[in-house]
Chain A
Amino acid sequence: MTPADAAPEAQGRAASEVAAWIRRARAGDEQAFGLLVEQHERMVLRTALRLLGRLDQAQDAAQDVFLRLHKYLGRFDESRELGPWLYRVVVNACHDLARRRPPGREVPFDELREAEHPGLRLGPEGIEDAVSQAEQRRLVDEALSTLPAKERAVIVLRDIEGLATAEVARILGTSEGTVRSQACTARLKIKAFIEAGRASLAERRTR
């Protein structure tokens, strides 16, 4: 993970300092464990929120992540970076939570094509002006929620968290080629969803 790609919280702390906290926490120092939590809680909760889309579930997932950290501290090699390990645990915890909740609607890609809204193909900047920021924000959230779990994880880690493709591949236990393919498909879906949503909003306004 390059410095530019690292989570903001991780940038402020030297790896040696975090490793020292891990050693102390493993030896039973709860204050050191508290520091580890404090250092990574924003990254964990933010990622969980983007993966699950609901704050209450994201908080459950974040607690689960730190409980797993607490449980496995004794086996954690402090020479490894904690950030990527936590990202992996966040993805797994959110996957477990998502399996236990009712499935959301995954919109087939064909439904999202621009052909669904002929005659409303405004230029991207023109549409952007027409749709308020709040609506844009909602559309992005909804677009993310329609993605399959693996594509969503790739978008959250690569495009929102800003991790490198190779790092995302390591976290998700897959190849860089697969990450690129999933990112490509997901970006096209998001674009199509947002454009369809904007067109729909613009259509309602012109009536």
Chain B
Amino acid sequence: MSCERYERELALHVEGDLPPRDASRLARHLEGCPHCRGFLSALEVSQRGVKALAAEPLDDSALVAVRAGLLAAVRERPAPARTTSVWGRALAAARWHRPLGAAVAVVVAALALGLFLWTGQEGRRRAHVEAPATVAQGAGDGRGTPALAADVSTSVRHEPGSTQRAPADERTRHSTARGPRRVSGDRAVEAEQAITALSPEDADQLARAIVVLSTIRRLSDAEKPPPAEPTLAGQVVLATSDPNVVIYWQLASNGG
């Protein structure tokens, strides 16, 4: 007996695509037909192979390549629904790199530490060096007056509360002077401890802020000649998950 006409029905039945009425008729046929039962078994095997493709994981590097190409293409093309904001671009770029956030955070933390140590030893030479960074603890009397360095400055401030302040913090609240300052050994250690104690999320946030500032600096440098005196060009305030730690980043284009 030729069962070829049932083969198409079996190919639908194997994935539940056969209407119930036809499925009942096919089931009755299968009971008495070993050939069709074998055909159905073979179909189930091949379909298992096809459906197994759905479970195969995609390599993250393949997605990173897509994002990188997409970001470059989006930036090149004018689109009505696209912001031209520098912040928007930078934040989007930072956002898309989130899977690499942990690795970036580690690098940033290492760089920050290196810069802290360097500024502790070479603070007075900062104004003559490209892209130095200063970390100071105690940013004065409010968020709006963090320390300003010649190029990029970072301020880590402990805020135990507006009404209560630990003696150790009182000791460091005098640092309201603007301009390059040398970081004392004690402060460098305290700042180093504050940075290294950041959670991965905060470190990731810090990494994003650096992307933002780097983008602003690059665009600012490209669009206008450097001023003779350091000029404030950007500021980021990072409220970390630790309510006692607030991080300030400031950017100034450097005329030197």
Residues of A within 8 A of B (CB): 25-31, 33-35, 37-38, 41-42, 45-46, 49-50, 55, 59, 62-63, 66-67, 70-71, 73-74, 123-125, 127-128, 136-137, 139-140, 143-144, 155, 158-162, 165, 180, 183-185, 187-188, 190-191, 194-195
Instruction: Indicate if B33 sits at the interface (CB-CB under 8 A).
Output: no
Residues of B within 8 A of A35 (CB): 95
Given contacts A45-B58, A59-B69, A67-B74, contact A159 B15 (CB under 8 A): yes
Give chain B nearest CB distance to A199 CB in angstroms.
11
Number of interface residues of B (CB under 8 A): 45
The answer to whether B89 touches A30, judged by C-beta atoms less than 8 angstroms apart, is: yes
Query: B52-71: which residues lie under 8 A (CB-CB) from chain A?
Result: 52-54, 58, 62-63, 65-67, 69-70
Given contacts A37-B96, A140-B53, contact A74 B11 (CB under 8 A): no
Instruction: Indicate if B7 sits at the interface (CB-CB under 8 A).
Output: yes
The answer to whether B63 touches A30, judged by C-beta atoms less than 8 angstroms apart, is: no
Residues of B within 8 A of A191 (CB): 11, 42-43, 46-47
The answer to whether B38 touches A29, judged by C-beta atoms less than 8 angstroms apart, is: no
Given contacts A34-B96, A42-B63, A159-B15, contact A188 B7 (CB under 8 A): yes
Closest to A73 in B: B81
Q: 16 A-B Cβ contacts within 8 A? A: A28-B82, A29-B88, A30-B74, A31-B91, A31-B92, A31-B95, A33-B74, A34-B96, A41-B67, A42-B58, A67-B70, A140-B46, A144-B50, A159-B15, A183-B12, A191-B46
CA distance A55 to B8 in the complex (A): 33
Given contacts A28-B81, A30-B92, A34-B95, contact A187 B43 (CB under 8 A): yes
The answer to whether B81 touches A194, judged by C-beta atoms less than 8 angstroms apart, is: no
The answer to whether A158 touches B46, judged by C-beta atoms less than 8 angstroms apart, is: no
Residues of B within 8 A of A27 (CB): 81
Residues of A within 8 A of B66 (CB): 41, 45, 59, 62-63, 66
CA distance A187 to B45 in the complex (A): 11
